[in-house]
Amino acid sequence: MKFSLGREWDDLKKFENLSDDERSIVFYSENEDSSFIFESLIDELTTEFGMNICYVTSSKDESILKKESDNVKTFYIGDGVVRTKFFLNLKARILIMTMPDLETYHIKRSKIFPVHYVYVFHAMVSTHLVYRKAAFDNFDTIFCVGEYQIEEIRNTERVYDLRPKNLEKIGYPHLDNLLEGEILKISKSNEKKFNVLLAPSWSNDGIFETLAEDIIKILLENNFKVIFRPHPMSQKHSKKRVEEIFKRFSQEEDFLIENNILNFNSFLSSDVMITDWSGSALEFAFGFEKPILFVDVPKKINNPEYEKIDLVPIEVSIREKIGKIISPTRLESLPKELENLILQTDKFQKQIVDIRNEMIFNIKKSKKYGAETIIKLLDEKSLS
């Protein structure tokens, strides 16, 4: 399929020429990272409830563009001037997106129509540390993963005297996808070596930027298998460093690099994860019930004012409950710490399941709650 600026304008025109009913429910995808978050919600809306939706994306690589569906109309608008125009002139009853910071930069609310904006989280992280200060201020409804996000957002509204938003108790559809795959019932082969998943976050002074090669070298020298899974933003903005790491270790039989963020086989095959402040830690723990070793590099802080919200972010509070923390100055003890964690997997599994069930809304039911909430919002918009 050939893409060009002409295609972007053509798709925008096709979208704008739809009837109001055809544009009732619109999903906007910034990139393919959004696709696995939206997938089950869209399937529930179209298959179980027979709803028609529009899927608008800035990524020409999304597989949904190549699929034909009676209930899903797809449009490619790129990430330039066509996208800016799409948002400014949007006519839709509901827009659902995983991109925060609405109104903060070039992505604005519609100037011509009272669109209802819904935010869906693409990670189970806190709202006041990982995201920018005003990341959610201009959304109407937020699909919250757990009670901790509701408490954080309500506290933020009080501290900054913000308009109260509609906060819905939804859960995390992607977690349910992992759990419903019955991945925990699949047994590993008789593997003598432990598999370690190295999955750093994207920041200025995290593992990827400072310690990745040292960690990989130590693990390989100590008879571990290593799967290196660079963050999507690292792959996008630090291609040269990703290539350097791959080149250095590509000849090692026990080293593998995974660049496809939609592939979660590495989560399944690994015994333990090493990370810093990555949201993928919660997916690994809650989705696969296995422990994490956290390298204690500086926090990934996108909101310098996060301490004004008097709540400990989940990334901080949960680390020693689902794994162990190690200082970056003690990397030589990595092999021993990893073996200890792996030997305690059964203990951590029980803890993780209890924490998951307590913290996350609607386990294995989130797509149903999400779809029903979207339909409820649509009905309310139709009556207003």
DSSP assignment of 154-184 equals HHHHHHTTPPPPEEEE---HHHHHHHHTTGG
Under 8 Å between Cβ of 25 and 52:
yes
Q: What is the pLDDT of residue 181?
A: 75
> What's the whole-model pTM score?
0.93
Average pLDDT score over residue span 18-27: 96
Question: Which residue has tokens 């005297």?
Answer: 161
Contacts of 359 (CB under 8 A, 6+ apart): 146, 147, 148, 314
Q: What is the pLDDT of residue 2?
A: 46
For residues 325 and 285, what is the distance between their CA atoms, to the nearest angstrom?
15
Q: Which residue has the higher pLDDT, 300 or 51?
A: 51
Q: What angle do CA 87, 93, 96 make, to 5 degrees?
A: 60
Average pLDDT score over residue span 229-237: 85
CATH architecture classification, 5-172+363-383 = 3-Layer(aba) Sandwich (3.40)
Domain ranges of the chain: 5-172+363-383, 183-359
Q: What is the pLDDT of residue 1?
A: 43
Pick from 83, 85, 116, 123: which is nearest to 277 by CA? 123
Pick from 99, 124, 98, 37: which is nearest to 314 by CA? 124
Pick from 324, 312, 323, 326: which is nearest to 352 by CA? 323
Fold of 183-359: Rossmann fold (3.40.50)
